[in-house]
Structure 1
Amino acid sequence: MAPLPNYRPKQLSVGPLESEILNIIWELGSGTVKDVHDRILTDPNRELAYTSVTTVLRRLTDKGWLACIKKARAYYWQPLVTKQQADVIRAHEQLQRFLAVGNPDVIAAFADSLDETASEQIQAIAKRIQAARQAREEQ
């Protein structure tokens, strides 16, 4: 089970272009504006200004998703969380919002409406949670 990372971006919401550029940075490991811009323009039907890529990279930095590092005469952006960590953070946030409903009847009705595969997944998750808690208690 992947633990909830200690670091979290300041703002979790990202728009479609921010998400696309964040995925490119994850694929590259780190990259310059040119690296990201070139990757986007590999699609011949796509147009995007170089300055727009710069703006989005800065916005992702302000939101806490990326760090900007100057190496020689170029600026490189690198992720502050991995894609897997981002997935864990987002899933945790979604679960917290779902549980914030606070009405056990609503949550039970939702769980009752799930198909057999989803119910089995929930049961498997509950077993993993119980095993993780037992392992922590035994330490």
Structure 2
Amino acid sequence: MTKPTESELEILAILWELGEASVRQVHERLAKTKDTGYTTTLKIMQIMHTKGLVSRDEKSRSHIYRPATNQKETQSSLIKNLMNTAFGGSAQNLVMQALGQENPSKEELDEIRAFLDQLEKKKS
């Protein structure tokens, strides 16, 4: 899988949420949180199509883009890459660093505990 850039990930997140969208729709979403031009969004989405990160329906005048990979696969690949390159392959170091950067809520900690409990049950 081709590793998406930060800008490409922002666009993928919008497409994962919407399912499909035109460049204009994606640009309008991006413009709510960052200062970016329409032509920049268009160029990035064209590059993403070339890289195989999105598919494009060219039947109508405004092309409709769809994510070519699902969110879970992409996140898994990125985490695996980050864990191997930045944390020496250690899931423990990655998780400890991630939790140390944030101040998780009680609800988030409860969810993490429940997830760890599930992992332990699978091992036994």
- How much has 1:123 moved relative to structure 2? 9.1
8 A contact 1:30–1:77 mirrored in 2: yes
- How much has 1:61 moved relative to structure 2? 1.9
Which whole-Å deviations, capped at 9, do the CAs of 1:63-85 have from their partners, x for residues lacking one? Answer: 32111121322211111111112
TM-score, normalised to structure 2, is 0.63
Q: Distance in 1 between matches of 2:118 and 2:16?
A: 30
Counterpart of 1:36?
A: 26
Match of 2:63 among 47, 71, 75: 75
Runs of 4+ with deviation above 4 angstroms: 121-127
Match of 2:9, SS state, is helix
How many aligned positions are there? 108
Q: Percent identity?
A: 20
Code of the residue aligned with 1:82 in structure 2: it is N
Match of 1:92 among 80, 84, 90: 80
| Shift in CA distance, 64/125, structure 1 to aligned 2, threshold 3 Å | farther
* Highest RCO, 1 vs 2 (Cα 8 Å, sep ≥ 6): 1
TM-score, normalised to structure 1, is 0.58
| Shift in CA distance, 94/19, structure 1 to aligned 2, threshold 3 Å | same
The structure with the larger Rg is: 1
Say which structure is richer in helix: 2
CA RMSD of aligned residues (A): 3.5
Where do 1:21-60 residues align within 5 Å?
Answer: 21-43=11-33, 46-60=34-48
8 A contact 1:12–1:63 mirrored in 2: no
Name stretches of at least 5 consecutive residues in structure 2 with no aligned partner: 98-108
Code of the residue aligned with 2:35 in structure 1: it is E
